[in-house]
Amino acid sequence: MTQIQGYFDPRFETVRELFAQQQRDPQARGAALCVTVGDTTVLDIWAGVMDKDNSRVWEQDTLVNVFSCTKPLGAVALLQQVEAGRITLDQPVADIWPEFAQAGKQQVTLRQLLSHRSGVSAISEPMAPEQLFDWQAMTAAIAAQEPWWEPGSRHGYAPLTYAWLLGEPLRRLSGQMPGDYLRERLFLPLGMDFHVGVPDADLPRIAHLSRLRNQSGDEYARALFAAMGNAAGLQWKAFANPSSLQTSTNKREWQQAQILAANGTGNARSLARFWQALAHDGQLGDVRLLDSELVRLMRREHSAGDDLTLLCPTRFGLGVMLEQDWQGGSFGMGANAFGHPGAGGSLGFADPDAKVGFGYVTNTMGPYVLTDPRAGELSREVYRCLREFC
Nearest to 49 by CA among 64, 35, 70, 34: 64
Separation of alpha carbons 217 and 221, rounded Å: 6
Average pLDDT over residues 152-167: 98
Please give the DSSP secondary-structure letter assigned to residue 185. I
d(CA 211, CA 363) in angstroms, rounded, equals 8
Please report the pLDDT score of residue 389 as a whole number: 84
Query: What pLDDT shows up at residue 216?
Result: 67
Q: What is the DSSP letter of 196?
A: S
pLDDT tens digits, residue range 258-284?
Answer: 999 999 999 999 999 999 999 999 999
Per DSSP, what are the bridge partners of residue 47?
Answer: 31
- Beta-bridged to residue 195, according to DSSP, are 265
Give the whole-angstrom CA distance, residue 237 versus residue 309.
10
Please check the confidence at residue 294 and state whether its pLDDT lies above 70: yes
Alpha carbon distance 137, 154 (integer Å): 27
pLDDT at residue 30 tops 70: yes
pLDDT in tens, 9-25: 999 999 999 999 999 99
Instruction: Find the DSSP H helices in the chain.
Output: 13-23, 71-83, 110-114, 135-144, 162-174, 178-182, 188-190, 219-227, 234-240, 252-256, 268-279, 292-298, 373-389
359 vs 38: CA distance, rounded Å: 15
DSSP class of residue 354 equals T
CATH of domain 56-72+181-374: 3.40.710.10
Average pLDDT over residues 234-256: 96
364-365 and 40-48 beta bridge pairing: unpaired
For the whole prediction, is pTM greater than 0.75? yes
CA atoms within 13 A on the CB side of 134: 13
pLDDT tier at 358 (50, 70, 90 boundaries)?
A: very high
Cα radius of gyration (the chain): 19
